[in-house]
Amino acid sequence: MNKTLQILHDRGFIKACTDSDALSDLMDKEPVTFYVGVDPSGRSIHIGHMVPFFAMHHMQEAGHNPIALVGGGTGMIGDPSGKTELRKMLTHEQIAANSASIKKQLGTVIDFAEMPPNGLGRAQMVNNADWLLGLNYIDFLREIGSQFSVNRMLTFESYKQRLERGLSFIEFNYQLLQSYDFLTLYRTHGCRLQMGGDDQWGNIVAGIDLIRRMESAECYGLTFNLIMRADGKKMGKSEKGAVFLDPDMYSPYDFYQYWRNVNDADVFKFMKLFTFLPLEEIDDYAKPGVNINEVKERLAWEQTRIIHGQEEADKARDAAKAAFGSTGANPAAREGMPSMEIPADRLASGIPALELFVESKLVPSNSDGRRLIAGGGAHVNETKIESHDQVIDSSWRDEQGELILRSGKKKFFRIIVK
């Protein structure tokens, strides 16, 4: 097997390949141009989306050429794969703004430089709106639609599931458009490989078939495992919602804490997928006698460093250690904690404890806050809150004049009094 494919296999990325032997031979012979689709429906991707892009990093490191394909055209329709309902359609302006934001986030793992360093493949971000929005519908049906069998399309799981709940004609066209993307990238960029999540298998195979029919050329598809946590939940979700890469939507401190608190059974799997540590080093961490909490700290620091930079990773690590060791008395160590400011006169007037915990988003709702307090899991400056209407006032401020809220054992929030 080609060395790069072996790396992806050993690190746990690969679910299936349309022809692994032929793809391996091609990658041994020459740099391969490949693409991964990017969903522009939001301004930030979350860590559950990142598996293909970490794989893209390993491919680029080996000299292959990545294309991040923004669905500026298809994003105006929506992919039915893995979805249970029609998605909201976006405007051109929304898609452009989201694409710019996402490119910056992907730049943490992919080098988009015009002239990349020696050995790296050249990465590009392109938008399928450039060729889809100007299509003549009749010409498209004659050239592309004639190559597709509705009977075969209905055998794909993504369509079978949606037929039971309702599938719009607009979404039914999605597979044709994604296949046309692959054909266009083959014609314009020499793209020979499409990579994506396991739910994209049907769309990828359809694109390969279209290229074979239209160009008499052989292209390939590679899908990745759906990453599930040990507790059976999808990767990328937390009690606060999706773990976004945008620091304004999910703070670097919370990001660090997400990784620090992963299940013991997930640690080494996530290290292989979401860090660039050598497999030999990861195997050393897995040896008997190694402190699993130290391994989790390394995972959290590495992942935060990759996405948010070393300075934010150091701040988050130091803040977490200070918070878990005490009330976070060292002001410098508090900087990485999520925080908010409140006026001194507001605190002096008294604030119900439940209100503070909801406002800080340590709990998502009043009912969750009441349950937390009733269970003895809510603390302010290490004093347990006894009831949801207990009033917090200026007398609760610590030596730094602040409040440190704690939910459970590991979730902290800093309130700065101004």
Do residue 171 and residue 304 come from a single domain?
A: no
Do residue 19 and residue 161 come from a single domain?
A: yes
Say how far residue 232 (Cα) sits from the centre of its chain.
17
Domain end position, chosen among 305, 332, 359: 332
Do residue 268 and residue 386 come from a single domain?
A: no
Do residue 65 and residue 173 come from a single domain?
A: yes
Is residue 276 assigned to a domain?
yes
Question: What would the pLDDT profile of 287-311 be if each residue is shown by its tens digit?
Answer: 998 899 899 999 999 999 999 999 9
382 contacts 406 by C-beta, under 8 angstroms: yes
Residue found under tokens 């294309």: 67
pLDDT at 330: 55
What is the average per-residue pLDDT within 343-349?
Answer: 93
Cα 277 from Cα 294, distance rounded (Å): 15
Do residue 219 and residue 274 come from a single domain?
A: no
35 a known binding residue? Answer: yes
Is residue 69 assigned to a domain?
yes
220 contacts 192 by C-beta, under 8 angstroms: yes
Is residue 77 assigned to a domain?
yes
Question: 210-239 as b/e, with b when 16 or more CB fall inside 10 Å?
Answer: bbeebeeeebbbbbbeebebeeeeebbebe
Question: What would the pLDDT profile of 35-55 be if each residue is shown by its tens digit?
Answer: 999 989 899 999 989 999 999
Is residue 207 assigned to a domain?
yes
Average pLDDT value over all residues in the chain: 89
Do residue 60 and residue 164 come from a single domain?
A: yes
Task: Identify the H or E element spanning 196.
Answer: strand 193-197
Res. 3 pLDDT band, cuts 50 70 90: very high
Q: Between 57 and 90, where is the model more confident?
A: 57
Is residue 230 assigned to a domain?
no
Cα 104 from Cα 246, distance rounded (Å): 10
237 a known binding residue? Answer: yes
Least confident segment among 73-87, 133-147, 311-325: 73-87
pLDDT at 74: 80
Res. 26 pLDDT band, cuts 50 70 90: very high
104: CATH: 3.40.50.620
Q: Between 235 and 27, where is the model more confident?
A: 27
Cα 67 from Cα 76, distance rounded (Å): 20
5 contacts 24 by C-beta, under 8 angstroms: yes
Joined together, the tokens standing for residue 245 give 């890469």
Do residue 242 and residue 200 come from a single domain?
A: no
Do residue 15 and residue 126 come from a single domain?
A: yes
What is the average per-residue pLDDT within 381-396?
Answer: 89
What is the average per-residue pLDDT within 110-114?
Answer: 92
94 a known binding residue? Answer: no
What is the average per-residue pLDDT within 315-323?
Answer: 83
Joined together, the tokens standing for residue 286 give 């897995």
Res. 84 pLDDT band, cuts 50 70 90: very low
Res. 92 pLDDT band, cuts 50 70 90: confident
Do residue 273 and residue 374 come from a single domain?
A: no
For residue 405, list its beta bridge partners. Answer: 380, 413
Q: Where are the alpha helices (DSSP H) in 244-365?
A: 252-260, 267-274, 279-285, 292-308, 310-325, 331-334, 344-349, 353-359
* Distance spanning both ends of the chain, measured CA to CA: 62
Cα 79 from Cα 158, distance rounded (Å): 9
Cα 356 from Cα 176, distance rounded (Å): 51
What is the average per-residue pLDDT within 258-272?
Answer: 93
Domain end position, chosen among 282, 314, 332: 332
Question: What would the pLDDT profile of 190-243 be if each residue is shown by its tens digit?
Answer: 999 999 999 899 899 999 999 999 999 999 999 999 888 888 887 876 666 789
Residue found under tokens 């009330």: 327
Do residue 185 and residue 262 come from a single domain?
A: no
Ramachandran assignment for 204, one of left (phi > 0), alpha (psi -120 to 50 degrees), beta (any other): alpha
Break the chain down into helix, strand, coil percent, rounded to 5: 50, 15, 35
Is residue 231 assigned to a domain?
no
- Total number of domains constituting the chain: 3
Res. 5 pLDDT band, cuts 50 70 90: very high
Is residue 203 assigned to a domain?
yes
What is the average per-residue pLDDT within 176-193?
Answer: 96
Is residue 266 assigned to a domain?
yes
355: CATH: 3.10.290.10
Domain end position, chosen among 224, 247, 262: 224
339 contacts 414 by C-beta, under 8 angstroms: yes
Res. 327 pLDDT band, cuts 50 70 90: very low
pTM value is 0.78
- Give me the domain span that covers residue 86: 3-224
229 contacts 263 by C-beta, under 8 angstroms: yes
254: CATH: 1.10.240.10
Do residue 23 and residue 147 come from a single domain?
A: yes
Joined together, the tokens standing for residue 97 give 């703004």
Residue 332 has pLDDT above 70, yes or no: no
Do residue 328 and residue 343 come from a single domain?
A: no
The amino acid at 264: D
Cα 140 from Cα 179, distance rounded (Å): 12
What is the average per-residue pLDDT within 353-365?
Answer: 93
pLDDT at 80: 52
Percent of the chain at pLDDT > 70 equals 92
